[in-house]
Structure 1
Amino acid sequence: MQGVWIPTFGSFDTVSKDIRTEDGTVTLRWPVFHLASNLIATHHLKPRRESLPVLRKMEPMKYSKAAAAASLSWATLRTGIQSTVALISGCLQNGENVAVVLKDIGVLLIDGLTFQMKFFFDFLEQLSGKEKFRRATFKVSCSFSMAQADP
């Protein structure tokens, strides 16, 4: 998966993330989202927790390709993104919290002066493969539960 930069909104990419389990280390593809610097600077936002770095240079989203996949014209897609960013910015200026649902990907939450991207479980499975992802999360969950049960 190649990263994509959506001008004025943010960028998405993936990084390798090693998960230690009882049976060894599992390497997963992990999504990373960076909110656009214009939104961060204008509204003095900070990430809820630091995200993983993305070392690759991002290509701007190809509106024509994305529009074709969504059965829209490129102009309609571009206008929709610009309108969405303007709506987000307006809500933030009014002191409102914002939740933006990105279909099949996750939810961008902006609460007060912090933001975070929460990815859907199915999307995380899709990036690394269902079996690999479930094996890693099951092993980590079991280890965590067992560690919490000890007095």
Structure 2
Amino acid sequence: MTQPDLLLIRYRDAGLRIATAESCTAGLLSARITEVAGSSKIFDRGFVTYTNRSKQELLGVAEATLGAHGAVSEPVAREMAEGALARSEADVAIAITGIAGPGGSEVKPEGRVCFGLATRGAETRTETQDFGALGRENVRRAAVDHAMSLLDAAAGTP
């Protein structure tokens, strides 16, 4: 698990800034990144877009994408990350959208979380993790931990 202080050092040394676009984690990733002193050097801004409408209004996620794939999908995670990057001064933007629980469906079970990682000058990457029905709090923590790992890996790529 990537610690916020290590992320701070890597991004600060690389001269990179981060933006977040969060749905099911509702700002937990932003809070994790900024829990260390000096994080203002690497953290530009965070968007909490819990509803489909907020994803559209704040990040520019297309209604057609939401309609075709649903909020918990890699296409929506991609548009969230790209929207956060376009609407910030960050070099790297990460998006999280998923089903923390309880609930879910056979098609989109509890614990499914989609991630988007957009970097300036590079192709946006997406992936889906199925953390399982760990309970709401544990799914959200697992999603934040995974996002921190993705950010850590991206520190050398832009």
Taking structure 1 as the reference length, what is the TM-score of the superposition? 0.35
Whose strand proportion is higher, 1 or 2? 1
Taking structure 2 as the reference length, what is the TM-score of the superposition? 0.34
